[in-house]
């Protein structure tokens, strides 16, 4: 490998560099400041389960618009046009399964990770298999992310890859150590807004440059104007290949097995908020994000057609940005590029830390320790994960085909786990042996499909007449078909678990999950928000008890023993100052009464009014 520093130099002006450095300092400060809201492991991994839908939606965008998205989708947009958005337009179809089945199972079941679901649904062996596979996948992904960050910093500043990787890893580690998920959510909120502004801003400036959308549209070749690529051409960008890989396997994985996203959903204050968040996120923010990451490529294609610049797909975004934008603003775009990557890396690190603590350390290394101890371990695990990620960068730098190796591993792991979860939540008959056969047998068969002598035999029937170049995409069809097939056949030949063992874990038992979440019959009567003063009751103990005035209970259609959510009424806090409580009795007077501990945890102020909502 040649010395990267010799090959690259900073592509902007000094003021751009100043903007990038200022941005890094701001992100770290922002993350560190929110560290004060993290007092236990629930805060560290799930942000105290108190946030509003809009906050998580914007921070989720920063996470999903991540690894190389700007460069990758701009390159695809430059080459193929609007069809670069395909990957962002097929998530909606999974929403009913997410909102009406998977989310109630994990939220009401208080399931903290995918391996934990495997243990409850299929037993300990399945949990071990899932833990191993998911950890390998996630840690490799952290390394890939840091490597990509290093490459990006190198291409923008001329610094060596390792310097960029270590620098950004250190920044991520600092705010993660301080605040865990709360810091991740708040920094990702800021980063999400920045990258949306940057991407949309560049697209808008490009449209203005051409004198309006009509002129821009005319400059694009006709083949660039379709939202879908051709059904089965070209081999490496056909609709059907992308549909199989992204629309089915990857989106299925994103909805069902992405630990980072599960943690975001569990950070919301209620399932109702999760519904709002998912709808806004997928239906509104996703199409906007598609324009954000692809727009630079479309503008670059129009600039080339107009004879104004010469560029390639890989450099389309940066070249279009540097051509159209003034110094300083270009620095903002560079900051957005790193923001996209950092916000993915921090989510992955939290996900690894969560699985290591909840699926390895807590059950097998030191059960029944104090929450303070587990919080310490969570922080250490996060730090270690970042270090391992940096070490992996050294390994990856020596591998020419690391992206393809990572792609192969992802392709082999994703369909088995997605199929096992999908069948597990949907079908009571799906047995433990079937789940193991799906993961092990399916994984082996997919692994064999990478063999040069077997790939035609395995993948050609799923490739719709396309050639070998399509296998990377159509392997997903093969994987889902064999995993699903194995799962169904083995289920029909083996004994399923009893209905009692499946309560809250499979379709048909969502209401029972709600019941056990609350510890009583859920109150689903529609109610309204109540606004009341909050006071400390010295006689109350514990963080989760509250006495509520009858008038507020009437407004909420709530009763004693219901679960309520008490929050600062200012919406822009997004739930940061809030707490969940059980109504233990009706309070005298017109104020809600909570313990000193709950008051401090929620960061309420003396004599303040709060908004109260019935959850269940």
Partner 1 sequence: MNDMARIWPIIVQFGGGSILCLIGLWCGLKSNYLDMNTPEDKRLVYIIIGGFLFLLILSSIFTFWLPNLPVEAAQ
For binding to partner 1 (CB under 8 A), which residues are involved? 82, 89-90, 92-101, 104, 214-215, 217-218, 222, 225-233, 239-240, 243, 247-248, 272, 275, 279, 282-283, 287, 426, 507-511, 514, 524, 526
Shortest separation between residue 86's beta carbon and partner 1, angstroms: 8
Judged by CB, which is closer to partner 1: 381, or 414?
414
Minimum CB distance to partner 1 smaller for 105 or for 411: 105
CB 317 within 8 A of CB 296: yes
In the bound complex, what is the minimum distance in angstroms from residue 213's beta carbon to partner 1? 8
Measured CA to CA, the distance from residue 311 to residue 369 in angstroms comes to 58
Query: Which residue carries 């940057």 as its tokens?
Result: 198
- Residue 88 structure tokens: 């962002």
Biggest CA-to-CA distance, the chain: 79
Cβ proximity to partner 1: between 123 and 520 the closer is 520
The nearest distance, CB 296 to partner 1, in angstroms, is: 19
Q: Toward partner 1, which CB reaches closer, 272 or 497?
A: 272
C-alpha distances out from residue 528 to 54, 269, 313, 554, 564, Å: 19, 16, 52, 9, 12
Q: Which of 584, 522, 519 is nearest to 272 (CA)?
A: 522
Output the smallest distance, CB 507 to partner 1, in A: 5
- Report angle CA 158, 164, 167 to the nearest 5 degrees: 140
CA angle 24, 151, 66 (to 5 degrees): 65
Least gap, CB of 59 to partner 1 (angstroms) = 22
What is the CA 362 to chain-centroid distance, rounded?
Answer: 24
Q: Distance between CA atoms of 578 and 611, rounded to whole angstroms?
A: 9
* Distance in angstroms between the alpha carbons of the first and the last residue of the chain: 59
Question: Shortest Cβ distance from residue 524 to partner 1 (Å)?
Answer: 6
Q: Which is nearer to partner 1, 287 or 407 (CB)?
A: 287
Q: Which is nearer to partner 1, 88 or 147 (CB)?
A: 88
Residue 513 CB, nearest approach to partner 1 (Å): 9
Q: How far apart are CA 171 and CA 194, in angstroms?
A: 17
Cβ-based nearer residue to partner 1, 9 or 218: 218
Q: What is the smallest separation between the CB atom of 103 and partner 1, expressed in angstroms? A: 10
Q: Can you read off the two tokens belonging to residue 575?
A: 């739930």
Q: Of 231 and 571, which CB lies nearer to partner 1 in the complex structure? A: 231
> Closer to partner 1 at the Cβ: 373 or 524?
524
The least CB distance from residue 563 to partner 1, in Å, is 17
Burial class for 280, CB neighbours closer than 10 Å (0-12, 13-18, 19+): middle
Q: What ranges in 449-546 are assigned the alpha helix state H?
A: 455-459, 471-493, 510-518
Residue pair 601/540 in contact (Cβ under 8 Å)? The answer is no
Measured CA angle at 429 (ends 425, 431), to 5 deg: 85
């Amino acid at each position: 490998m040649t010395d990267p520093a010799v090959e690259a130099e900073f592509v902007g002006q000094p003021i751009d560099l100043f903007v990038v450095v200022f941005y890094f300092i701001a992100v770290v400060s922002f993350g560190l400041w929110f560290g004060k809201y993290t007092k236990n492991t629930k805060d560290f991994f799930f942000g105290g389960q108190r946030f509003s839908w809009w906050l998580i939606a914007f921070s989720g965008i920063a996470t999903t618009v991540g690894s190389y998205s700007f460069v990758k989708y701009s390159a695809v947009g430059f080459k193929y046009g609007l069809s670069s958005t395909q990957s962002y337009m097929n998530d909606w179809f999974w929403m009913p399964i997410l909102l009406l089945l998977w989310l109630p199972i994990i939220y009401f079941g208080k399931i903290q990770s995918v391996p934990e679901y495997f243990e409850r649904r299929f037993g300990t062996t399945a949990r071990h298999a899932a833990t191993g596979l998911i950890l390998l996948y996630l840690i490799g992904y952290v390394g890939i992310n840091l490597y990509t960050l290093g490459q990006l910093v190198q291409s923008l500043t001329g610094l060596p890859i390792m310097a960029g990787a270590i620098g950004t890893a250190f920044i991520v580690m600092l705010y993660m150590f301080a605040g865990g998920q709360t810091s991740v959510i708040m920094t990702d909120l800021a980063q999400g807004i920045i990258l949306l502004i940057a991407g949309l801003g560049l697209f808008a400036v490009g449209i203005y440059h051409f004198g309006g959308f009509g002129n821009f549209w005319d400059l694009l070749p006709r083949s660039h104007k379709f939202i879908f690529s051709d059904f089965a051409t070209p081999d490496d960008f056909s609709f059907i290949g992308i549909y199989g890989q992204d629309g089915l396997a990857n989106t299925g994985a994103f909805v069902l097995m992405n630990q980072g996203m599960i943690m975001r959903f569990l950070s919301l204050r209620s399932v109702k908020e999760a519904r709002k968040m998912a709808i806004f996120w997928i239906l509104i923010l996703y199409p906007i994000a598609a324009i954000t990451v692809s727009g630079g490529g479309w503008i670059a294609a129009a600039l080339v057609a107009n004879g104004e610049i010469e560029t390639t797909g890989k450099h389309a975004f940066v070249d279009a940005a540097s051509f159209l934008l003034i110094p300083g603003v270009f620095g903002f775009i560079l900051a957005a590029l790193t923001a996209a990557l950092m916000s993915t890396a921090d989510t992955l690190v939290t996900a690894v830390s969560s699985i290591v603590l909840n699926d390895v350390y807590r059950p097998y290394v030191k059960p029944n320790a104090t929450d303070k101890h587990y919080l310490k371990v969570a922080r250490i695990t996060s730090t270690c994960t970042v270090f391992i990620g940096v070490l992996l960068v050294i390994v990856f730098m020596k591998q020419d085909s690391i992206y393809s190796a990572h792609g192969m591993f992802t392709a082999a792991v994703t369909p088995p786990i997605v199929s096992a979860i999908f069948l597990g939540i949907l079908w009571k008959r799906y047995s433990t042996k079937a789940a193991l056969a799906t993961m092990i047998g399916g994984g082996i068969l997919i692994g064999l499909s990478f063999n040069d002598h077997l790939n035609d035999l395995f993948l050609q029937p799923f490739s719709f007449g396309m050639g070998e170049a399509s296998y990377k995409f159509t392997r997903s069809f093969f994987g889902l078909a064999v995993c699903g097939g194995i799962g169904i056949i083995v289920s029909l030949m083996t004994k399923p678990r009893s209905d009692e063992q499946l309560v809250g874990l499979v379709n048909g038992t969502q209401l029972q999950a709600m019941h056990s979440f609350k510890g009583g019959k859920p109150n689903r009567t529609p109610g309204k928000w109540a606004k009341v003063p909050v006071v400390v009751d010295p006689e109350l103990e514990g963080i989760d008890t509250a006495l509520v005035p009858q008038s507020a209970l009437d407004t909420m259609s709530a009763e004693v023993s219901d679960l309520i959510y008490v929050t600062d009424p200012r919406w822009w806090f997004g739930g940061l100052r809030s707490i969940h409580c059980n109504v233990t009795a009706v309070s005298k007077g017109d104020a809600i009464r909570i313990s000193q501990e709950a008051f401090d945890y929620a960061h309420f102020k003396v004599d303040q009014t709060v908004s109260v909502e019935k959850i269940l």
